């Protein structure tokens, strides 16, 4: 294969070393020039040794150990890192080798892990400065990469576009069904938004929920209120009838365990989305949530026994993976996909769909910059939503200004929606975009706080030290309440009673080191509520009153101020924690219209042959507002189905 060297020069190199960059090193008989060259060599010499330095990464401090001899870097070791597994953690596997190979500080950031890459280069630069390096010269050194100039052409049964949770589920399902599968991912690592998620997965699970205490009367009254809502269709009435039957059966028994039912989960999802969700898709989501969790366990996901309530989830039915984070899903999915023979291509963005006689039969894009063509019998789009695309967000919801941060990965740009449109796909629900009241104040992401394991374990206060909402409500309602507060900012208050988040290993559910977060001032820790208040600039007397009132509501199972009904234990065990949180754009409920077989539909409602989709790239499932904990069900239930039906189509089954 023919290859060419693509050599990138930093502009500063041209300005600082015009003769060298224009002509390269030149031999000369002039003694003065020879002397100058030797002086430059001496000036660029390093002091041999091993140096350490740290810099702030995505998950906390990133510490490096760098060894050098007189002329080059000989070894780079990551001494400490709290970077997200599958994103920053994946980048740290490649960055040291890239630097040692190039002997340059001019390497590119790893796509999707910019903050980790920047921290790595900052710490590395510090180490080289300690070693006496001319840092500007190291930054100006050209980085040589071998890039193929030849087009890459492949054939397969199914090509999956996108390597997050939906894409991996589709690839695994298709491979298990006997299809040859290629998965292409636009960035250098798998994960998408899934790897950034806290991990809650809603499923009605009688075996686990038998061990959860019964809900209080206020919570049961909320269920009864669903039965009084206006009936939208015969299918809706059937669900209400089933819920009434389930309640009658529960009330006739011991009532010493948590009530839940399939009908309740469906009705909460339908009602929570303001009755604009597709009820057929909602029923599939809920009916297959528990069986799909069991399928995921077969594919390597290890579930905790505990059941909790994710913020905005409305009921205790959220399952958590072993490490309580979305990275668990990606790690298990990747291992299973590779074991099944799925070919995974990184740095491979899809640019267009291949269409023949109205059917989709492949994709075109690039692979490490080289032209890529994959002929396939079916294509699954699993590229995520568009919350990371500020222009597209504002196109559909002008009120979402470009100053609002997002929890989404930078790569989540609506690519699959654009691809689907090129094949004539219909879009539904694009005007429904969900924000969260729980974004990281610096980045908008979901990490960097204490409390995320479940809404039972915290409350939120404004800058005046007072609660301002029911923390177990709908996400859109809670976000609106937060925006109305001073500076649209709050603190989440929790304590050591939150044992799901405050664990013995010192790592919270996002993979953050709690003590590092405290050290860096991202969260605050104190042995008393009064001291905590002083640290965050709140009147201690006001926060103490708020705290005591909240604990009394927990004990009584009743919140007379805001009507909260979901409670855990009182927050009485020190240390106490406060985490700063802001509104952040989180989830796009709109996207490509699909049927329950995950076939993409056109403007007339007809199936586009060969085109399938799953996950946040699709629309219509969640309606105007998504319940917390339903997204990870969505991507796995519909990802699994997309892989099955796409492979059936490809194999003629």
The pair of structure tokens assigned to 452 is: 């995320």
DSSP three-state, residue 297: helix
For the segment 294-317, the average pLDDT, to the nearest whole number, is 94
The pair of structure tokens assigned to 595 is: 């049927």
pLDDT at res. 220: 95
For the stretch 510-549, pLDDT in tens is 778 889 889 989 999 999 999 999 999 999 999 999 999 9
pLDDT at res. 42: 47
For the stretch 624-648, pLDDT in tens is 999 999 999 999 999 999 999 999 9
Residue 404 has pLDDT above 90, yes or no: no
DSSP three-state, residue 484: coil
CA–CA separation, 89 and 188 (whole Å): 12
640 given a catalytic annotation: no
Polymer length in residues for the chain: 653
Residue 5 has pLDDT above 60, yes or no: no
From the candidates 196, 208, 475, 626, give the one annotated as an active-site residue: 475
Show the DSSP H helices in 151-299 as ranges. Answer: 165-176, 206-209, 217-226, 234-251, 262-272, 279-287, 289-298
pLDDT at res. 584: 93
CA–CA separation, 451 and 439 (whole Å): 12
Q: Taking Cα atoms as reference points, which of 577, 454, 569, 566 lies closest to residue 514? A: 577
**CB 163 within 8 Å of CB 192:** yes
- Residues whose CB falls within 8 Å of the CB of residue 519, separated by 6 or more in sequence, listed in order: 61
pLDDT at res. 513: 85
CA–CA separation, 348 and 364 (whole Å): 10
**CB 404 within 8 Å of CB 389:** no
SS (H, E, C) 342-405: CEEECCCCEEEEEEECCEEEEEEEEECCEEEEEEEEEEEECCCCCCCCHHHHHHHCCCCCCCCC
DSSP three-state, residue 14: helix
Q: Taking Cα atoms as reference points, which of 536, 531, 566 lies closest to residue 550? A: 566
Q: Which H helix or E strand runs over 107? A: none
The phi, psi pair for 89, rounded to 5°, reads -60, -35
Q: How many helices (H) and strands (E) does the chain have?
A: 21, 24
CA–CA separation, 560 and 319 (whole Å): 29
Q: Which residue has the tokens 């809650």?
A: 200
Indicate the range of 306-310, 381-385, 498-502 predicted with least confidence: 498-502
The pair of structure tokens assigned to 298 is: 């077969």
pLDDT at res. 622: 97
pLDDT at res. 330: 94
For the stretch 461-473, pLDDT in tens is 999 999 999 999 9
**DSSP state, 423?**
T
CA–CA separation, 622 and 430 (whole Å): 12
Confidence of residue 86 (pLDDT cuts 50, 70, 90): low
Residue 90 has pLDDT above 90, yes or no: no
Please provide the average confidence, as pLDDT, over all residues in the chain. 89
Q: Which of 36-45, 240-249, 403-412 has the highest mean pLDDT?
A: 240-249
Checking DSSP bridges between strand 181-184 and strand 152-161, what pairing results, if any?
A: parallel
**CB 216 within 8 Å of CB 558:** yes
Summarize the chain as % helix, strand, coil (round to 5): 35, 25, 40
Q: Taking Cα atoms as reference points, which of 88, 104, 169 lies closest to residue 142? A: 104
CA–CA separation, 295 and 268 (whole Å): 24
For the stretch 578-628, pLDDT in tens is 999 999 999 999 999 999 999 999 999 999 999 999 999 999 999 999 999
pLDDT at res. 6: 36
Q: Which residue has the tokens 């405050």?
A: 502
The pair of structure tokens assigned to 511 is: 């993979």
For the stretch 178-218, pLDDT in tens is 999 999 999 988 999 998 888 999 999 999 999 999 999 99
Higher pLDDT, 160 or 20: 160
Confidence of residue 82 (pLDDT cuts 50, 70, 90): confident
**CB 576 within 8 Å of CB 528:** yes
Q: Which H helix or E strand runs over 438? A: strand 433-440
pLDDT at res. 59: 67
Q: Which H helix or E strand runs over 455? A: none
Residue 33 has pLDDT above 60, yes or no: no
For the stretch 99-154, pLDDT in tens is 998 999 988 777 667 778 888 999 999 999 999 999 889 998 888 766 667 899 99
The pair of structure tokens assigned to 296 is: 């995921």
CA–CA separation, 442 and 60 (whole Å): 12
CA–CA separation, 370 and 34 (whole Å): 42
CA–CA separation, 125 and 428 (whole Å): 48
- Residues whose CB falls within 8 Å of the CB of residue 213, separated by 6 or more in sequence, listed in order: 257, 258
Q: Taking Cα atoms as reference points, which of 165, 188, 198 lies closest to residue 117? A: 188
For the stretch 384-401, pLDDT in tens is 999 999 999 999 998 887
In which region does residue 623 sit, left (phi positive, over 0), alpha (psi from -120 to 50) or beta (all else)? left
**CB 498 within 8 Å of CB 450:** yes
CA–CA separation, 411 and 607 (whole Å): 28
β partners of residue 433? 588
Task: Provide DSSP, 165-178.
Answer: HHHHHHHHHHHHTT
Beta strands in 527-598 (DSSP E): 576-588, 591-593
pLDDT at res. 356: 96
DSSP three-state, residue 80: strand
The phi, psi pair for 460, rounded to 5°, reads -120, 140
């Amino acid at each position: 294969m023919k290859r060419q060297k693509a050599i990138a020069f930093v502009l500063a190199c041209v300005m600082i070393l015009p003769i060298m960059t224009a002509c390269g090193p030149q031999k000369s008989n002039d003694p003065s020039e020879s002397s100058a060259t030797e002086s430059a060599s001496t000036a660029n010499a390093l002091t041999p040794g091993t140096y350490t330095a740290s810099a702030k990464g995505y998950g906390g401090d990133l510490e490096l150990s760098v060894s050098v001899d007189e002329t080059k870097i000989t070894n780079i070791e990551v001494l400490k890192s709290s970077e997200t597994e599958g994103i920053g953690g994946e980048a740290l596997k490649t960055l040291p080798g890239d630097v040692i190979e190039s002997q340059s500080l001019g390497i590119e950031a790893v796509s999707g892990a910019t903050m980790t890459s920047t921290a790595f280069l900052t710490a590395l630069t510090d180490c080289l400065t300690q070693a006496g390096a001319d840092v500007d010269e190291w930054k100006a050194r050209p980085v040589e990469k071998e890039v193929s100039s030849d087009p890459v052409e492949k054939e397969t049964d199914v090509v999956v576009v996108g390597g997050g949770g939906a894409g991996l589920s589709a690839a695994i399902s298709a491979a298990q069904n006997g299809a040859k599968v290629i998965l292409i991912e636009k960035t250098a690592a798998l994960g998408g938004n899934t790897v950034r998620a806290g991990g809650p997965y809603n499923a009605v699970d009688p075996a686990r929920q038998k061990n959860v205490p019964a809900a209080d009367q206020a919570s049961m009254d909320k269920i009864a209120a669903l039965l009084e809502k206006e009936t939208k269709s015969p299918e809706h009435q059937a669900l209400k009838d089933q819920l009434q039957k389930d309640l009658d059966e529960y009330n006739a028994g011991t009532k010493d365990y948590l009530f839940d039912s399939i009908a309740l989960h469906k009705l909460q999802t339908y009602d929570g989305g303001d009755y604009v969700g597709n009820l057929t898709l909602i029923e599939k989501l809920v009916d297959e949530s528990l069986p799909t969790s069991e399928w995921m366990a077969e594919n390597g996901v290890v579930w905790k026994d505990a059941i909790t309530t994710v913020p905005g989830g409305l009921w205790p039915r959220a399952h958590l993976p072993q490490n309580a984070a979305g990275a668990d899903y990606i790690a298990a999915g990747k291992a299973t996909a590779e074991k099944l023979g799925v070919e995974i291509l990184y740095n491979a963005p899809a640019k267009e769909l291949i269409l023949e006689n109205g059917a989709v039969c492949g994709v075109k894009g690039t692979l490490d910059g080289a032209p890529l063509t994959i002929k396939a019998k079916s294509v699954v789009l699993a590229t995520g939503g568009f919350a990371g695309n500020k222009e597209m967000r504002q196109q559909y919801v002008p009120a979402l200004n470009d100053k609002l941060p997002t929890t989404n990965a930078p790569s989540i740009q609506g690519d699959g929606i654009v691809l689907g449109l090129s094949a004539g796909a219909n879009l539904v629900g694009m005007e429904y975009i969900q924000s969260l009241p729980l974004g990281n104040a610096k980045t908008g992401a979901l990490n960097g706080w204490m409390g995320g394991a479940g809404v039972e374990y915290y409350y939120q206060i404004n800058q005046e030290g007072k609660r301002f909402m029911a923390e177990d409500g709908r996400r859109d309602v809670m976000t609106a309440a937060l925006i109305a507060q001073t500076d649209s900012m709050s603190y989440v208050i929790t304590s050591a009673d939150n044992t799901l988040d405050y664990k013995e290993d010192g790592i919270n559910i996002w993979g953050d080191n709690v003590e590092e977060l405290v050290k860096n001032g991202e969260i605050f820790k104190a042995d008393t509520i009064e001291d905590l208040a002083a640290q965050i600039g709140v009147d201690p007397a006001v926060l103490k009153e708020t705290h005591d009132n909240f604990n009394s509501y927990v004990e009584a199972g009743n919140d007379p101020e805001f009507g909260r009904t979901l409670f855990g234990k009182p927050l009485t065990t020190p240390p106490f924690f406060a985490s700063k949180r802001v509104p952040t754009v989180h989830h796009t409920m709109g996207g490509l219209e699909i049927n329950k077989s995950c076939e993409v539909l056109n403007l007339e409602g007809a199936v586009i042959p060969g085109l399938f989709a799953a996950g946040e790239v699709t629309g219509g499932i969640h309606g105007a507002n998504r319940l917390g904990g339903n997204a990870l069900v969505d991507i796995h239930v519909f990802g699994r189905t997309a892989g099955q039906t796409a492979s059936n189509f490809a194999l003629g089954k």
